[in-house]
Homo-oligomer: A and B are copies of this chain.
Amino acid sequence: MPRDATLEDVARHAGVSLATASRVLNGSTRQVGRALRERVERAAAELGYTTNRAAQALARSASDILGLVVHDLSDPYFAVVANAVVRESERHGLSVMVGTTFRDPEAEIGYVATLRAQRVRAIVLAGSRIADETVTERLRAEIDRFQGGGGRAALIGQDLLGVDTVVPDNRAGAYELARALAGLGHTRFAVLTGPSFLLTAVDRVEGFTAGLAAAGLPEPLLIPGPFDRDGGYLAAERLLALRDTTAAGVTCVFAVNDVMAVGALAALRAHGVAVPEQISVAGFDDIPTLRDLTPSLTTVRLPLADMGRRAVELALATTGPAAEPATAEVVLRESTRRVS
């Protein structure tokens, strides 16, 4: 196993000192004579030399890695955010190390620890915070340790950790959505709420309910369930089961994210309920991949890619903790109709 060429190999091969080789091959401000510089470059090329970044990081005590923690890369929400984070990081010359937690808060804490061990330059945490003081506190402690060691961190989600955060405007978005749907004439609503421990879900439910109240409408029927496609499917089935009782008169369903809405659409279709003729459906996020659905989904657009990009900016900036809102915008499409 012929080991990689080292800087010393290059220096010797070029007949110069280690320091000189270092200066020409890695971004030093110091100048090196033209002749030597070329000798070193030739030697490096001949030996196929590549900087050992681990060693460089150690010597400089500064890595060029950015850590990213998401719930689930196969969820298009995070896929889009992650894509933007990677892209923006590359623009800054950083490599990205990703971790997936599958919504396990312990895994999230563990991943921050791993990234701290890696001495990454910055960490971006994407995804809903959890309604659990203890866990949140432990995560905050881990992040504090990371920042204590000189690291930077930024969040996408609820501003709960005392670090720079891009805050999706879940409440306002859902509020406006409720008003828009009320404007279409709907009066009885059901909400597929997702789990009550997910703050993102909670914020959206609360915003929606507040919007209905502001329109002078009664509280919606709340149907909890998992935050994913199957959760939306099951919740929609439960709604149908309640059609003749609690859910009587419901003409519009709000699923707190697009992926759940897709599940709900599938369930309604499977049970022969026409959308939007018999019931209207709305989601949240405006996932690009889902824009070609039929019927096209009424939803609330979040600037996903932009959020990822801005999170990286925040994580790389040197300013103190700040919360930046990411504006949500209602998009009415075919899955909701006007009722008399």
Interface residues of A (CB under 8 A from B): 1-4, 48, 50-55, 57-58, 61, 63, 65, 72-74, 76, 79-80, 82-83, 86-87, 90, 95-100, 113-114, 116-119, 145, 148-150, 229, 259, 262-263, 265-266, 269, 288-290, 292-294, 305
**With contacts A52-B119, A289-B289 known, what are 5 further pairs, Cβ within 8 A?**
A79-B79, A95-B99, A96-B99, A259-B289, A289-B290
Q: Do B95 and A114 touch across chains, with their CB atoms under 8 A apart?
A: yes
A100 to B53, CA, bound (A): 20
Q: Do B87 and A100 touch across chains, with their CB atoms under 8 A apart?
A: yes
A159 to chain B, nearest CB (A): 24
Q: Do A97 and B2 touch across chains, with their CB atoms under 8 A apart?
A: no
**Chain B residues, CB < 8 A from A269:** 294
A83 to B57, CA, bound (A): 28
Q: Do A79 and B90 touch across chains, with their CB atoms under 8 A apart?
A: no
Q: Do B86 and A53 touch across chains, with their CB atoms under 8 A apart?
A: no
Copies of this protein, total: 2
A73 to B293, CA, bound (A): 21
**Chain B residues, CB < 8 A from A294:** 269, 293-294
A305 to B74, CA, bound (A): 10
Interchain residue pairs with CB less than 8 A apart (11): A3-B150, A48-B148, A50-B117, A50-B145, A74-B79, A74-B305, A86-B98, A95-B114, A266-B292, A292-B293, A293-B293
Of B65, B148, B292, which contacts A262 at CB under 8 A? B292
**Chain B residues, CB < 8 A from A97:** 65, 95-98
Q: Do A117 and B292 touch across chains, with their CB atoms under 8 A apart?
A: no
Q: Do B50 and A113 touch across chains, with their CB atoms under 8 A apart?
A: yes
Tell me whether A72 and B83 are in contact in the complex, defined as CB-CB below 8 angstroms, given that A50-B117, A290-B289 are known contacts.
yes
**Chain B residues, CB < 8 A from A61:** 3
A251 to chain B, nearest CB (A): 21
Q: Do A119 and B54 touch across chains, with their CB atoms under 8 A apart?
A: yes
Q: Do A53 and B149 touch across chains, with their CB atoms under 8 A apart?
A: no
Q: Do B98 and A96 touch across chains, with their CB atoms under 8 A apart?
A: yes
**Chain B residues, CB < 8 A from A263:** 292
Closest 5 pairs between A and B when the two form their complex, measured CB to CB:
A79-B79, A4-B149, A73-B83, A74-B83, A54-B57
Q: Which of A63, A148, A289, A290 has the most CB of B within 10 A?
A: A289
Tell me whether A4 and B262 are in contact in the complex, defined as CB-CB below 8 angstroms, given that A96-B98, A97-B96 are known contacts.
no
